[in-house]
Amino acid sequence: MMSAGIAAAAPRMLLKVKLVSRAELMLILGSWAVFGVIVTGQTWALAAQLGQPQSLLQVMPVAFSGAAVWAALTIFVFAVSRRFPLDRKPRRRAVLAHLIAGPSVAAAEVMLGYAIGILSGWIDPSAQPFMVNFFWRGFPFNLVVYWLLAGVAHGFTFYRRYRQRDAEAARLAARLARAELDLLRSQLHPHFLFNTLTAISALMHRDVKAADRMVARLSELLRAALDHDSEQEVSLQEELAFLGAYLEIERARLGDRLAVELDVQPNVLDARVPHMILQPLVENAIQHGVAPRVAPGTVTIRARGRRGMLDIEVRDDGPGAPPGKSLLGGVGLANTRARLEQMYGADYSFEPGNAPGGGFRVALAIPFRAIGDAAGDDQPEDDT
């Protein structure tokens, strides 16, 4: 009972002292167990051919004892290879350690196998001298096995390092992408704040009450922005609510000259969108399509779902972009495209340009993922 308890606790002890990893231990034990089965079968068949048949219960303990010896020695080889890897400096120390460990393991296996043979009655020490019949026959072969095992152990080490470097590179890339997204979004805050404060300053000279309302709305808007400061994505409904507060500021400044049309499918309101993705697009439409004109102007915001994607369009009915002018010259549009690229890679589209029939439009498409559904299975069907 005591020996069975020790055998059951041995794998946990090996893992605890970090001689081998869990995967390495499973490979070692499994491989030598298969070896024990093969040797059992071969020995049983050979004994039958020689006219000395034996039962499997007689053959199995000897075969599995030899396999157990090699399993223990393999764990030692893995531990030595981990402690003294041949690809690390100082190499002289590692080579010396393996030159000592190799012959030691080879000799230990021969001696332990000889002792097991004597105890089991398979070997007659008086008829089979140790040095002649066993040591010089087993030692060279065992030395080759040692270096094969050391090679396998080094292969595990190289693979583990590769996985660690790969995981670290992925974590570093994620941190870098997050930092770039935070930088891009942080640039939008002062850009938006500067434009809004400029509008309030101009309004103060002709309508103090309206300017006061704009300051209050600006306070609410900044509070809402800070509430989602740690989030890269919000629902489209939350984004539209944030945009509504911004549009109140613009209406206080432009009055009846600004009209806004919302054309949003109800089934896309819970779609994930980048926080503050609409505000710079609408600001660009108002600044270039509505504000310079004396006549009233309209900004239209559309959102549609198609299988797997969310389509958003912001359009104005202004004069459009002059020929030859860069369509991404401003901070708002340039940062919006950069954020989309960081968040979605190649799985997005962003198309600014003059709209058919006049005005300027920005059309973008991003993967449809509902809030609370990370897998993105809750996707709207085409409305066509």
Using pLDDT thresholds of 50, 70 and 90, give the confidence band for residue 130.
Answer: low
State mean pLDDT over 148-168: 85
* Residue 343 lies in domain: 207-367
Residue ending a domain, among 146, 169, 192, is 169
Residues 249 and 103 reside in one and the same domain: no
Q: How confident is the model at residue 133 (pLDDT cuts 50, 70, 90)?
A: low
Instruction: Concatenate the DSSP letters of all residues of 198-237 into one string.
Output: HHHHHHHTT-HHHHHHHHHHHHHHHHHHHHTTT-SEEEHH
Look at residues 169, 197, 216 and tell me which one is the last residue of a structural domain: 169
Task: Examine residue 177 and state whether it is found in any structural domain, yes or no.
Answer: no
> Which residue from 191, 264, 278, 177 is spatially nearest to 234, judged by alpha carbons?
278
Answer whether residue 217 is part of any domain: yes
The mean pLDDT value of the chain amounts to 78
**348 vs 197 pLDDT, higher one:** 348
More confident residue, 315 or 223: 315
Residue 327's CATH number: 3.30.565.10
Please give the average per-residue pLDDT across 257-281, as a whole number: 92
> Tell me, what amino acid is at 289?
G
State pTM to two decimals.
0.51
3-state secondary structure of 259: strand
Residues 139, 20 share a domain? yes
* Averaged pLDDT, 8-28: 62
Is 197 a member of any domain?
no
How many domains are there within the chain?
Answer: 2
264 and 352 assigned to the same domain:
yes
Least confident of 272-286, 302-316, 321-335: 321-335
**Whether residues 214 and 160 fall in one domain:** no
- Quick check: is 311 in a domain? yes
pLDDT in tens, 93-119: 888 888 998 888 888 888 887 777 777
pLDDT-derived band at 330, boundaries 50, 70, 90: low
- Are residues 115 and 24 part of one domain? yes
Per-residue pLDDT at 5? 45
User: Considering the domain boundaries, does residue 378 fall inside one?
Assistant: no
- Return the top range by mean pLDDT from 14-28, 173-187, 243-257, 358-372: 358-372
Residue 9 has pLDDT above 60, yes or no: no
188 assigned to some structural domain: no
Q: Cα angle vertex 113, ends 112, 114, to 5°? A: 90
The answer on 215 and 165 residing in a single domain is no
Cβ neighbours for 199, distance < 8 A, ≥ 6 positions apart: 214, 249, 250, 253
Domain contains 191: no
Does one domain contain both 123 and 218? no
Q: In terms of DSSP H, where are the helices of the chain?
A: 2-16, 22-49, 56-83, 91-120, 130, 136-204, 208-227, 236-254, 279-285, 331-344
Length of the chain counted residue by residue: 384
Q: Are residues 94 and 212 both part of a single domain?
A: no
Q: Are residues 333 and 282 in the same domain?
A: yes
Do 14 and 115 lie in one domain? The reply is: yes
Q: Which pLDDT value is given to residue 188?
A: 45
- In this structure, the answer to whether residues 109 and 213 fall within a common structural domain is no
239 vs 61, which has greater pLDDT?
A: 239
Band (pLDDT 50/70/90 cuts) for residue 7 is very low
Q: Which of 150, 169, 188 is the last residue of a domain?
A: 169
How many CB atoms within 10 Å of residue 125? 12
Question: Is there a single domain that holds both residue 83 and residue 30?
Answer: yes
In a domain, 178, yes or no: no
- With 0-12 / 13-18 / 19 or more C-beta atoms within 10 angstroms meaning exposed / middle / buried, residue 144 is exposed
pLDDT tens, residue by residue, 208-218: 887 887 788 77
